[in-house]
Amino acid sequence: MRATSPPDEEMAESPTAKRKREEKDGENGTAASQGESAAGSFPLAEMSVRKVLRESARDKTIFLHGQVNSASGDGTDAVVILEKTPFQEDSIAELLKKHTQLQLQMSNDIYSTYHLYLPPELNGIKTTVVYPATEKHLQKYLRREVYLIQETGEDYKNITLPFIQSQSFSIQWVYNILEKKAEADRIVYENPDPADGFVLIPDLKWNQKQLDDLYLIAICHCRGIKSLRDLTAEHLPLLRNISQEGKEAIVKRFGIAGTRLRVYLHYQPSYYHLHVHFTALSYDAPGCSVERAHLLSDVISNLELDSWYYEKRPLAFALRADEPLLKKFQEAGRV
């Protein structure tokens, strides 16, 4: 699964979350990626909407279950995600002046509201397509109830870890980045040390056209560190490098100081190879909520106090009703 998932207002398995890399033989079934048949050739006008899977007024995002009819009359399922794109400062003047229509909706003293109708070239909608989509894709994007889990150290050993080990979560795409087999041109910074080094790369949710929603990921070179639960004082040099060098690289490349960044880890993570999120503090990034995000500075301080802090400490995280791990906690009488 790819860390940079489509926007997901609840879990960001995603936002991700957030675009996850669709796996050929993984939990998500089979789908065409944006760079393959879905890009530029998806017959959007021929698609009929079967169901709204989920929508978010806050994120200005809607997830659709569509169906495209073939020549034989059979329908092929698709998931289409429509997302309003953020404003870009350098296009504001053009946006306000170029054939723009303003329609009054309400006026009261000094206050008024309008509908602003833009020309097509200034009114783009980011569109993510999963096509053909399997039943697993449809279920993945369907809105579900969410439950908060309080996982103890024993729960991790007896429930979560065996579940992780039983699954075929492919992270080959992570190794491709670390080995420069893919996305090498997107790397912003690298510390090549095999134990304490990492690569810093923009998250795919960030289009790199404005800094208000800056989002980068630091992926450690060391393999075998699955999540927060595996961290001990032994990993402090790695974590300090990520914190210090990551901030230095961002201020050098993008001019954003460390005091304007939110630097954190997810638990549960969207994939099981240690990575750290760097987002603009002004950006309400998917997955930065208190039940999932752990500030890197806090993680470092806790490990300085107790090497086994994250092995012992209860950790909270949210699970959707359809997730297999929730069923394992229910079977164990922990939910």
- Catalytic option among 137, 235, 266, 275: 275
DSSP-assigned letter for residue 328: H
DSSP-assigned letter for residue 29: B
Which residues are within 8 A (CB) of 230 and not within 5 positions of it... i.e. 6 or more apart?
224, 274, 310
Quote the CA–CA distance of 191 and 80 in Å, as a whole number: 38
DSSP annotation string for 199-217: EEEE-TT--SS-STT-EEE
Q: Tell me, yes or no, if 275 is annotated catalytic.
A: yes
Q: What single-letter amino acid sits at 252?
A: K
Q: What single-letter amino acid sits at 267?
A: Y
Quote the CA–CA distance of 273 and 295 in Å, as a whole number: 17
Do residues 241 and 228 make contact, with C-beta atoms less than 8 angstroms apart?
no
Q: Which DSSP helix (H) or strand (E) runs through 306?
A: none
DSSP annotation string for 225-288: --SGGG--GGGHHHHHHHHHHHHHHHHHHH---GGGEEEEEESS-SSSS-EEEEEETTS--TT-
Q: What are phi and psi of 263, to 5 degrees?
A: -120, 120
CB atoms within 10 A of CB 125: 12
Q: What are phi and psi of 80, to 5 degrees?
A: -120, 125
- Tell me whether residue 215 is exposed, middle or buried, using C-beta atoms within 10 angstroms of its C-beta: 0 to 12, 13 to 18, 19 or more: buried
Quote the CA–CA distance of 151 and 218 in Å, as a whole number: 26
* Strand pairing category for 146-151 and 101-108: unpaired
Q: What are phi and psi of 95, to 5 degrees?
A: -60, -40
User: Catalytic residue positions?
Assistant: 275
